[in-house]
Structure 1
């Protein structure tokens, strides 16, 4: 995978990509994550698709900007801007956790740019941060409070909460998820995210998204429970829900072969005009 940092919407965005003469698939990570969260599935997916994975501003190796508006509206505009930068007319979009909500926002605002949606344990129905949290974010040095809070977090305990199979936790994995927590600039951007982030799309908004959507969930997900996936499957007019046992929030790490199989099958069925799995 080629690595490049590009400049769009006045912010530096870290990208990993591999182009073939094949349909484009864009991978959008979740909260406190990065392109690394797709590392278990990108090698195989790249055999079937041109892959573009990016770190959202504020996360991973992208800029921790002090001026970027960390809202779903701005993130969806950024995804389209990145597509324009690479001359991508349409793409399949995979979103994990918060990245699923970003993907849904892109599909709502620019459905002509999206072929299919693959939502892995997507966030859904979250309200905007409480007003006192937003007001507090304007206080001097609030970001230092956020920094101290996350610095106290034990990364292994967090990983055990997002993974059902604890034997999959490695030092490399913990290092990748811990590194941004030690960057003071990350906590400044996280403070801005708490301030700017709107609530998730409403039921009424979801009902107007006609892009074919595959929802993949781990039955043991403690971060975004399966009931959220079931609600999304009901509210999205063209959605299918697939649930894997003995898997948690990082379903792509715990069931990579199954996730890849379901994504490939879903896209093949859509291309063939099918409406359900065989």
Structure 2
């Protein structure tokens, strides 16, 4: 287990980067402590991303809230151990264990895309832990992958197939062009930040092959109806990855939810509209 820490230049706020063993997996998270904060934000990124995707909003929120930004296994700097079950249910349970280990109180979930669905699993498992939920373009109503692909994931060359598919889709830069409305927002630093976890070795591709068969699908309408935690849904009107219709249906199926739609915005809301993202978070949490 490795742990690193970096202290900020204030007595009341500190920033620590940790890798700790939780539920049998190395879990990477960034902890922005704030002794004056009354609320903790638990940030969960989307598919093929990492806590890097929150780099614009964390500096704008850390003066008001305590923040945890976690890398979903096997993404980012979190573990890729193939003994781990990469199901939403198990990942959600792992994150809840982290929250309990850190003894966090008054926690609000902030999830983007797939991270939103994991957040909903967390709220379903232990609703008493969470004050509010904020979902940016959350995945919804996806079924488990086809049985043929599950079978393929067991084959020795499965990781090569996953890597080939990523390359054929245009690589990191090609995928970024699909998730943002304004392509001019894509910078070299942005490309490198998303590319970094995929260039060191093939461990991530082996883990992604297993992830594809472990993922059990999004929550059903019946389960969504059980979640009473106040929930804010934020969608980009031009989202081509998780269409606005998914947000509208979630707004129907989550009994205590409200939907806000942002014009000229794609799928990557926290990066495309960081100021508006922070304003919506603050208004919902504090209001």
Q: Give the TM interval when normalised to the shorter protein.
A: over 0.9
Which residue number in structure 2 is paired with residue 142 of structure 1? 158
Which residue number in structure 2 is paired with residue 179 of structure 1? 196
> Structure 1: how far apart are the matches of 2:272 and 2:214?
32
Pair 1:70 & 2:86 matched: yes
Which residue number in structure 1 is paired with residue 266 of structure 2? 248
Deviation string 1:66-119 (CA, Å, 9 cap, x unpaired) is: 111000111111111111221114410100000000000000110011110000
TM-score of the superposed pair, with normalisation by structure 1:
0.94
Deviation at 1:181, TM superposition (A): 2.9
Any conservation in 2 of the 1:151–1:181 contact (CA below 8 Å)? no
Deviation string 1:223-268 (CA, Å, 9 cap, x unpaired) is: 0011100100111000011111011001111111111111111112
Which residue number in structure 1 is paired with residue 131 of structure 2? 115
> Structure 1: how far apart are the matches of 2:165 and 2:146?
18
Any conservation in 2 of the 1:147–1:181 contact (CA below 8 Å)? no
Pair 1:6 & 2:20 matched: yes
Any conservation in 1 of the 2:40–2:105 contact (CA below 8 Å)? no
Which residue number in structure 1 is paired with residue 100 of structure 2? 84
Q: Where do 4+ consecutive residues of structure 1 move more than 6 Å? A: none
> Structure 2: how far apart are the matches of 1:235 and 1:34?
28
Which residue number in structure 2 is paired with residue 16 of structure 1? 30
Which residue number in structure 1 is paired with residue 276 of structure 2? 258
> Structure 2: how far apart are the matches of 1:39 and 1:179?
15
TM-score of the superposed pair, with normalisation by structure 2:
0.91
> Structure 1: how far apart are the matches of 2:218 and 2:167?
27
Deviation at 1:137, TM superposition (A): 0.9
Paired residue for 1:31, among 47, 62, 66? 47
60-69 or 154-163: which moved more? 154-163
Pair 1:218 & 2:232 matched: no
Deviation string 1:189-236 (CA, Å, 9 cap, x unpaired) is: 101111110110011110110000000111110000111001001110
Task: Give me the CA root mean square deviation.
Answer: 1.1
Any conservation in 2 of the 1:233–1:239 contact (CA below 8 Å)? yes
> Structure 2: how far apart are the matches of 1:223 and 1:181?
21
> Structure 1: how far apart are the matches of 2:222 and 2:204?
34
The residue matched to 2:85 in structure 1 has which SS? coil
> Structure 2: how far apart are the matches of 1:149 and 1:232?
30
Which residue number in structure 1 is paired with residue 63 of structure 2? 47
Which residue number in structure 1 is paired with residue 3 of structure 2? none
> Structure 2: how far apart are the matches of 1:203 and 1:138?
31
Which consecutive residues of structure 1, in runs of 5 or more, have no partner in the other structure? 270-278
